[in-house]
Chain A
Amino acid sequence: MADLSINLAGIKSPNPFWLASAPPTNSGYQVQRAFEAGWGGAVWKTLGEPIINTSSRFAAISFNGQRVAGFNNIELITDRPLEVNLKEIYETKKRFPNHAIIASLMVEPQQEKWHEIVKKVEDVGVDGLELNFGCPHGMAERGMGAASGQVPALVEKQTYWVKEMAQTPVIVKLTPNITDITATAEAAVQGGADAISMINTINSLAGVDIHSWNTIPHVAGKGAHGGYCGPAVKPIALHMVGECARNPRINIPISGIGGVSNWENAIEFMLMGATGVQVCTAAMHHGFRIVEDMIEGLNNYLDEKGIASVNDLVGKAVHKYSDWGDLDLNYKVVARINNDVCINCNKCHIACEDTSHQCIDMLKDGEGNPILRVREEDCVGCNLCSIVCPVDGAIDMVELPNEFPPMTWNERQAAIGALACAVDTVK
């Protein structure tokens, strides 16, 4: 049994699986059920001035019959009185002293408001704070959430105000609704944050009903943009985590969020620099019980790889994540089709023919059976055929030996520059 416990900027939890601040962590009853099921921590549903939530809030995207490929919501922060939440946090912490409870907070961008709420939640014994600078709807219209979170100076200032008061570690939760997330991440570091978490939800409109012409979801015939999450956003979240992890100026731990649905996803986030992960949609889809497989799957993976502690995964793939200019332009892979495995659906052919480089030929073998073959000299190694192929092992992308030494774009430009200089001096 590997050691699954983590310590994220001083917040300890028995495993790296936390529930993200969202409906699953709305109440003491729910968080206690979650801890019983095995979750290592929970970020409480965002606390602040109670608001009114709309009826009809969520929508989801089904993809080819699979439900909840992506999830969309127009829910705001908690609609329960602060005192009730505080009481339940206190009770939950007392029952589960070894589990992490983090209070997610959102107030108007004023120093005294932040001081006031920080004091209140710390008084009931939370293990840490998460500043919600990410909620993209509703709260943003009131100058909070993403409205603050998109302005680096506001992120820095508010983080600083919180740090003035806070006794427990402060996590800043970032919005993905920004061109370069490292800008706000750096602002959080400047403000003194102990950790950052990402991503909150992405601005979205789930759909339009083509018969009633209503938005999906709608509230009495009207809709507003919401926040997108779930499996569909994982690549976006992973990219943002990776960008922050490899930025030397962002040298604080990361809590990874966005589309984590199973133990494999969690490992990906941790390899890309997250110290732990937070989950919302997957729990909303299946219930708290999914954590059992997450824990067991992670543990089996670590045991199988002979890794003693889950912390040994953190950031192990970050050095492999770089800029395009650092990629070797002389590296070459080509597609190779294994005709004994291929079922002749011809999807690879038409994908390549119509939309890539026209190098998969439809031929006949000696006995007149149809076969597909890649003209390797024309193949650019784009992977498209292997992506559309429905059969495991029918198309391999194989590495070709190269007569040229590795050369990146940056190296190439540097070499050309040096050459230009040399010419200059001669002249």
Chain B
Amino acid sequence: MSLKSISYEDLSSNFDEVEAGLSNREALEEANRCLYCYDAPCIQACPTGIDIPTFIKKIASGNLKGSAKTIMSANPVGASCSRVCPTEELCEGACVLNHATKPIMIGNLQRYATDWAMKNEQLLFTAGEKLGKSVAIVGGGPAGLSAARELALLGYDVTIFEAEEKAGGLNTYGIVSFRLPKAVSYWEVEQVKSLDVEIRTNTRVGQDISVKEIVDCYDAVLLAIGMAHVPSLGIPGEELAGVYDAIEFVKETKTKPITDTLLGKKVAVIGAGNTAIDAATCSVRLGAENVKILYRRTLEEMTAYDFEYEFAKQDGVEFRWLTAPTKLIGEKDKVVGIECMKMELGEPGEDGRRRPIPVEGSEFTLEVDAVIKAIGQSRYLDLIEAFEISHDGGVVTIDSETFQTTNAKIFACGDVIFGKGQGEAMVVSAAQQGKQSAYSIHQLLVPTMETV
């Protein structure tokens, strides 16, 4: 990855997409390097099962529209995925050329084809013949959009209820612009909209429209609300100014003009997942002088992907392992320090990861100007309860085959079912679950029809 250096004069330029797309020639050469394997392992490794050799062959033959269509038909958010998927662990990790030379740059080729479609304003699909059945989708993130696309192709009247001003979920608001520009997410939303899908933005279910109305007025409901804000750390000082929720923090950089609030400042990010990395690299790009990630376990247990870790290191982010905050110290209601404790790893816990145990007397204090909390996301408990479906601490209970909840007409997929050992919080898995939920809904509503 070639990173350009951070600008302190023009902070907003730091938020331009980091990685340049492939040039025509690079794409052609790389596409021709692909072996076009039969029954290729990369297809198996893609959670959405994109026919990778075919889309690459189509780049080589100059059929870019067909290439984009092959990608997007398997994955309605395939343009975003080309940028944010951990490809080393998925398709590229499975490429047979890992054993011969070096793997094909599948993600970059996927981006090349979808960029072409975006630039040439292609509409790739047309809605299916109407079946006269309606489905309400709560949440317009990757999971909801993906389900909506499949249902629209099958001929359903689909309405997406989206709390925010724009659909796209975390692709629009959560993943930093220098990895995933908003325009990419908007294009995917447009592709879905063009199939006659109604997207009612600024409509928070449970607030702007009742749960009862949704459940009563539609033939089926899909809950794809994702997860909520970052939970509290449970230590003193969280209310101080300068303490941020990572998701909100990133969202600001995607929705508001870039400010110089962090210019030259010291930032501590707490947690070591995707969100922590994004918050940390965002801070670097906002001009922070020093950015530290504090994590109570080690590199081994960290949930961020290798590529994210590498990316953060290249951005100069410092990692402090086995470090847990115990107290935020304020001066005049503003955070100025963070008291921490060293940890050591004990026996593995329920999730298989070794549990951190505080080392007595190891307290120390770090000077900070800002603290960003990135210790995961909480759940929309009230809303889930309002739907009267079973859940385990906000992780909605589903039939793992059908994504059906304990209410037969309500299905759930995406981050809302992630956790407690179930699934993975990835855009690509949300997309796949969206497709599968759509097929299950189809099975429920039109059982005589062939499944896809």
Contacts and interface: CB of A to CB of B under 8 A. Distances in A.
A66 B34 CA distance: 11
Contacts of A392: 24-25
Contacts of B24: 392
Report whether over half of chain A's contact residues are helix, strand or loop; otherwise say mixed. Answer: helix
B65 A289 contact: no
A296 interface: yes
A391 B28 CA distance: 12
A287 B36 CA distance: 10
B61 A263 contact: yes
A353 interface: no
B203 interface: no
Interface string B330-356: 000000000000000000000000000
Nearest to A390: B25
A66 B65 contact: no
B58 interface: yes
A297 B36 contact: no
Interface in A58-87: 66
Interface string A280-316: 0000001101101100110010000000000000000
Contacts of B63: 263, 293, 296-297, 300
A36 interface: no
A180 interface: no
A7 interface: no
Contacts of B25: 391-392
B69 to A, nearest CB: 8
A290 B36 CA distance: 10
Report whether over half of chain B's contact residues are helix, strand or loop; otherwise say mixed. Answer: helix
B62 A297 contact: yes
A264 interface: yes
A21 to B, nearest CB: 24
A262 interface: yes
A300 B63 CA distance: 8
Given A287-B38, A293-B66, A297-B66, A262 B54 contact: no
A264 B57 contact: no
Contacts of B65: 300
Nearest to B55: A293
Nearest to A297: B63
Contacts of A286: 36, 57
B32 A293 contact: no
Interface string B158-187: 000000000000000000000000000000
A297 B63 CA distance: 5
A392 B25 CA distance: 8
Interface string A302-344: 0000000000000000000000000000000000000000000
B47 to A, nearest CB: 22
Interface string A19-63: 000000000000000000000000000000000000000000000
A261 to B, nearest CB: 8
B281 to A, nearest CB: 32
Contacts, number: 35
A262 B63 CA distance: 10
Contacts of B36: 286
A300 B66 contact: yes
Nearest to A304: B65
A37 B442 CA distance: 27
Contact of A289 (B54, B61, B62, B69): B54
A293 to B, nearest CB: 5
A297 B61 contact: yes
Nearest to B57: A293
B57 A290 contact: yes
Given A287-B38, A392-B24, A292 B54 contact: yes
Given A66-B32, A300-B66, A392-B25, A293 B38 contact: no
A292 B36 CA distance: 14
A404 to B, nearest CB: 38
A66 B62 CA distance: 18
A52 to B, nearest CB: 30
Contacts of A296: 58, 63, 66, 69
A293 B63 CA distance: 7
Contacts of A263: 61, 63
Given A287-B38, A392-B25, A264 B54 contact: no
A292 B54 CA distance: 9
B335 to A, nearest CB: 50
Interface in B29-64: 32, 36, 38, 54, 57-58, 61-63
Contacts of B38: 287, 289
Contacts of A297: 58, 61-63, 66
A326 B294 CA distance: 78
A290 B66 CA distance: 13
Contacts of A289: 38, 54
Interface string A215-247: 000000000000000000000000000000000
A263 B65 CA distance: 13
Contacts of A287: 38
Nearest to A391: B25
A353 B66 CA distance: 43
A88 to B, nearest CB: 24
A264 B62 contact: yes
A293 B64 CA distance: 10
A289 B58 CA distance: 12
Contacts of B57: 286, 290, 293
Contacts of A262: 61-62
A66 B66 CA distance: 24
A262 B69 CA distance: 18
A90 to B, nearest CB: 30
Interface in A364-400: 391-392
A62 to B, nearest CB: 13
Contacts of B69: 296
Nearest to B64: A300
20 contacts: A262-B61, A262-B62, A263-B61, A264-B62, A286-B36, A289-B38, A290-B57, A292-B54, A293-B58, A293-B63, A293-B66, A296-B66, A297-B58, A297-B61, A297-B62, A297-B63, A297-B66, A300-B66, A391-B25, A392-B24
Nearest 5 A-B pairs (CB), nearest first? A297-B63, A296-B66, A262-B61, A300-B65, A293-B58
